[in-house]
Structure 1
Amino acid sequence: MYRFLLPILFIINLSACGQMGNHNHKPTTIMEYGKISNENVRASIEAWQKDDSKEWLSYFSKNATLLDDGHPRDFMKFSTEAIGKERFTSVDKVENSSMDIYGKFHSDTWGDFKTYFKFRIGKDGKFDQLQIGQANY
C-alpha cells in the first residue's frame, strides 16, 4: 500500500508546481536600462536590481542623504533594508539628463506602484542625495 503513496505524492507535487496541468506564473520582464544614458545612474540602478548593496553604495558619497516624498530618511538604513526587497519592474521614462528615473516598482512590503528615483551629484562626483517617492505620470 505505501509503495503507491510516493508516486502519487510526486504527481501531486508536479501538478501543484505547474509542471503538469494548466498553471501559469507571471512572466519575468527584462529591464530596459538603455533609456538611462547617465552611466553612473544606470550602473547604480543595475546594482540595486541585482541586490548588490556594496556596489549600490559605491556610487554615493559617505554622507549621502535621502528624501522620501520630501521627508528626510536615513539613506544607509534605507539602502541596506530595501535592497533585495524592493525593485523596479520597468523603467518608463527618464528626465533631467537621466538623473531622474520613473518606473513601476515592487516592494515586498508595500506592493506595486509607480515611483521615481532622483539622483543629485555632489562635489566629489558621487551622488550626495537621492529623492524617492510615488510618481504620477
Structure 2
Amino acid sequence: MGTGQVAALVTEARPFDVDLEDLSDEESSIQKLQEELIEVQHDETLRFNFQQQSLGVFRTAEKEKPVLGREAEKVLLQFATTYLCESGFASLAAIKTKSRNRLQPEHDLRVALSTIEPRMDKFTSKFQPQGSH
C-alpha cells in the first residue's frame, strides 16, 4: 500500500482502519507516517473527537502529525473546486465502465484529470519501427 492509498483511507474518515502491516516495506518517510498512524490509532481522546466532530476540525491535529497531514492534504486538494470534482466524477464514470469495473482507477483517473499535455513525439521517438515479415 503506497502513500496515496494510505492518504485516501485517512481522508475518507477512516484513519483508524489503516492496516499498519501494509506499510512495513516502504521507505523512511512511510515509516514516519506509520509512527504517526500508530499514535493516532492509540489516542483515545483523538478517537472520541473524531467521532464527535467534522473532518475539518479533526484536521487541526495535522500540526502535531505533519507527515500524516501532508499526505491527507494531497488527497483533499485534488478536488479543490466544484468543477474539478465534477470533472473527476465524470472521468471516473467513463473509466469504470461495465467491462472495466474490476480495475483500480487511481492511475487512469490521474491521467484523465491531468492538465499536462503528453509529448507523444518524444515518446514515439524512443521506439524503433518494426518491419513486416
Normalising by structure 2, we get a TM-score of: 0.24
Larger helix share, 1 or 2: 2
Larger strand share, 1 or 2: 1
The structure having more radius of gyration, on CA atoms, is: 1
Normalising by structure 1, we get a TM-score of: 0.24
